[in-house]
Amino acid sequence: MASDKQKARSLKQMAEITLQRLKETKIKKYPSNSLVDYYDILRKLMEALCDTDGVKFRGEGAHSKIIDYVCQKYKFGEAKRVFLQQLRDYRNRISYEGFNIAADYITDNQDKIELIITSLMRLVNAKTHQD
């Protein structure tokens, strides 16, 4: 698959909009929704990186493969990979099983999540502005 910088830019823009909305939300009041939003932002940014690399994952397990690919290719380290996979698992449990996440989980991990978002944004910006 060829690199698709336009799609990557669109995904980044969607992630930025979700992040802006999340900043206007009472995260402690809506922890499960906030986790789903944070995961959605992370996934869109990781997918944007895959698009710039010309890599596409589809079907069962695609999100897990995106996480593994991005963490390996961009040297995020095993701890971040495990954390991102945990967020993916929680997001799936929230979406498919009605699982509720504790507000403390979000507040305890918010800085870590936002640092990863910042790192991914920088990578996407660097890769989509190359010509």
Residue-level pLDDT at 2: 76
Delineate the domains of the chain, giving CATH numbers in brackets. 5-128 (1.20.120.330)
On whether the CB atoms of residues 69 and 57 are closer than 8 A, the answer is: yes
On whether the CB atoms of residues 31 and 103 are closer than 8 A, the answer is: yes
What is the model's pTM?
0.94
**Residue listed under structure tokens 């910042």:** 118
Residue-level pLDDT at 3: 83
pLDDT tens digits for the chain (131 residues)? 678 899 999 999 999 999 999 999 999 899 999 999 999 999 999 999 999 999 999 999 999 999 999 999 999 999 999 999 999 999 999 999 999 999 999 999 999 999 999 999 999 999 998 54
Residue-level pLDDT at 131: 47
Q: What is the CA radius of gyration of the chain?
A: 14
Residue-level pLDDT at 121: 97
Which residues 6+ apart lie within 8 Å of 90 measured at CB? 35, 39, 99, 101, 105
